[in-house]
Structures are given as structure tokens and as C-alpha cells.
């Protein structure tokens, strides 16, 4: 089967943006591809983080992946740091990746602005490690949102640079673009994220979720209830597109444009549809929390299976670059 690799950081509570933009799509790919899904904890330490919580957040992230529908019998779920070949290959890729390519990365520029006191080599080399994550398993496909396409293209460039110098070993991975709408945070201005405190967590208390949605920014030009709105510029309607059926989308679109429904009405309808989809996930997550050994068994098994692939790849890489073998 064609192989997929994708990863998610354990940087905090998994939110609607993570679920709609990535995890839900991963579940749909399991039957068609040989899938490897990774909790990328090394990526998470490129910015300031709570050291004492990284381990528990790693397990919690794996828990949500399982609760959302990923099946260990149909895919491999692992933790990045459990397979040391990820960072070994990243070092070799560092030696073929031009610095200029990394300086042009949009995410590096954005994060450098957000973390001015900690602009480190890991932050700049983030996409090189990402290339190593993908190419270690010779994955040909990477499911991503539009904001990550640039990183997949760099992975292709790294593969070309390596292959040109050392021989044709790695495929040039292709991006599989998510068809999910891009969800902004409840501020309606920036990407939903824990660091921006504009997120709705997948496992948040129900009342907290509703309060965040109730006060979320809508079409800023709709000041009063009787003002007509424009769903095309409203983030709440974008979230509707992720959770509501077509007949309701048409109803909301029409009702917003002619002011037949208010923003609270719109949000109430959305919240009902959100909870219909998310409640089974939340219930399964609660059950999994009672069985932490199962989660650890899943990620240990994933690491074992992926280590076998990684060792084979790194043997080929070391041979190709001329490293002295200890055998």
C-alpha cells in the first residue's frame, strides 16, 4: 500500500482545528494507505513549554487519536522520540539543506516573531526534522492543510538534494490537501491554537465549550440583531461547514443574509451539531483514561514496528554517505 506519514504536536489541549484539519481526515485514510501517525514531541520543544507536562500531554494526544477513531490494527501510532533514527536522519539532512531555504519558511518567520526571546536552531531546523520524519519511512504522501504545504515542498527538496549527492534512496513526497475548511480561533482573526488562547478544546467541559462559542467573533459588520450578515466572512459559518448538514448550511446562509436568524441562533444550531459528533469521541476518551496501559501498549507497539523500518532506512543512509560501519 502507498505509505502516509503525518504528525501532531503534544503542545496542549487538542482543539477543533486539530480535529477538523487533521485527525478526522487521518481516520478516513486508514483503509486506503499504510498510515503512520506520530506524536512529534521533539518538535514541541522548539518553543517554551511546560517540561513537567510534556510526557502526560504526549499520552493524552495519543489518547485523543484513538478516541477519534484511529485503529492500531489499521495504522501505526508512535511517539517521535521513541525512534531515535528521526533525529539521526535529521542531522544528515541538515548537511544537505541550504540555510537560505530555511530562512524563507513562513512558519519560521511567524514563530520567530512570537518567540523573540527563544529563536533557536531547533526552530529554524524544524522543517528539516519534519523531512526526516517523513522520509525515514519513505512515505510518499503527507496529509496536510494549506499552511503546511511549504514544509512538504521542502521535504521534496531535501530528498532531491540527498538523492543527487548520495544516490536515489528517497521518494519525493506529495501533499494530500485536506478538504476541511480552515477554522480560525474564536477571535475570528488567527489560527486556532493553545498559545493564542483562542481555541475550543475537544475534551473541554461542555459549559466551557458553549461559553467560548457563544462569545466567539462573527461577522463584525453585523452589529445589531436586525442587521443582515455575510456568512462568507464569518468564522462561525466556516465551523458550520465542518459539522452541519447541507440543508442546515443553506438555512443558516439564507437566515444570516436576511437577518431571519441571529448570531446566537446560528451558534446554538452549530453547537448541537458539534456535540452530536464529538460526544462519542469524548465518551471514548473518558473510557481510555481509565486504561492508560492500553494507550502505552499502542504507542510502544507502534514504535517497535516503525523502528524496524527506521533501522533499515538508516542502514542504507549510513552506507550511502560513507560512514564507517561498526559491524
Query: Which residues participate in catalysis according to the annotation?
Result: 111, 191, 194
d(CA 233, CA 203): 27
Cell of 184: 480560525
Between the CA atoms of 148, 150, 154 and 160, what dihedral angle is there, to the nearest 10 degrees?
110
d(CA 173, CA 157): 10
Edge-first strand order for the sheet with 174-177 is 75-79, 34-39, 3-8, 141-144, 174-177
d(CA 54, CA 148): 23
The residues, any chain, with a CB within 8 Å of residue 194's CB and separated by 6 or more, are: 11, 12, 13, 15
Amino acid at each position: 500500500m502507498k505509505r502516509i506519514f503525518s504528525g501532531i504536536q503534544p503542545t496542549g489541549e487538542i482543539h477543533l482545528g486539530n480535529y477538523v484539519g487533521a485527525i478526522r481526515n487521518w481516520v478516513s485514510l486508514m483503509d486506503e494507505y499504510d498510515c503512520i501517525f506520530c506524536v512529534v514531541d521533539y518538535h514541541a520543544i522548539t518553543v517554551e513549554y511546560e517540561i513537567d507536562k510534556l510526557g502526560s500531554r504526549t499520552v493524552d494526544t495519543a489518547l485523543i487519536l484513538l478516541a477519534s477513531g484511529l485503529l492500531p490494527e489499521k495504522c501505526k501510532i508512535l511517539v517521535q522520540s521513541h525512534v531515535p533514527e528521526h533525529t539521526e536522519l535529521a542531522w544528515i539532512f541538515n548537511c544537505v539543506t541550504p540555510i537560505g531555504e530555511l530562512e524563507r519558511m513562513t512558519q519560521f518567520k511567524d514563530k520567530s516573531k512570537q518567540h523573540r526571546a527563544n529563536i533557536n536552531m531547533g526552530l529554524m531546523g524544524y522543517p528539516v526534522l519534519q523531512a526526516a520524519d517523513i522520509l525515514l519511512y519513505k512515505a510518499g504522501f503527507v496529509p496536510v492543510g494549506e499552511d503546511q504545504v511549504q514544509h512538504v515542498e521542502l521535504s521534496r527538496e531535501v530528498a532531491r538534494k540527498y538523492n543527487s549527492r548520495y544516490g536515489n534512496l528517497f521518494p519525493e513526497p506529495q501533499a494530500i490537501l485536506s478538504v476541511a475548511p480552515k477554522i480560525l480561533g474564536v477571535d475570528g482573526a488567527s489560527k486556532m491554537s493553545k498559545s493564542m488562547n483562542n481555541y475550543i478544546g475537544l475534551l473541554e467541559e461542555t459549559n466551557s465549550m458553549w461559553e467560548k462559542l457563544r462569545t466567539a467573533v462573527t461577522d463584525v459588520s453585523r452589529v445589531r440583531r436586525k442587521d443582515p450578515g455575510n456568512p462568507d466572512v464569518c468564522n462561525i459559518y466556516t465551523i458550520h461547514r465542518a459539522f452541519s448538514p447541507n440543508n442546515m448550511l443553506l438555512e443558516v446562509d439564507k437566515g444570516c443574509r436576511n437577518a431571519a436568524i441571529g448570531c446566537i441562533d446560528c451558534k446554538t444550531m452549530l453547537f448541537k451539531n458539534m456535540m452530536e459528533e464529538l460526544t462519542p469521541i469524548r465518551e471514548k476518551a473518558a473510557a481510555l483514561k481509565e486504561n492508560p496501559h492500553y494507550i502505552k501498549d499502542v504507542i510502544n507497539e507502534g514504535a517497535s514496528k516503525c523502528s524496524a523500518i527506521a533501522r533499515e532506512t538508516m542502514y542504507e543512509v549510513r552506507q550511502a554517505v560513507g560512514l564507517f560501519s561498526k559491524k
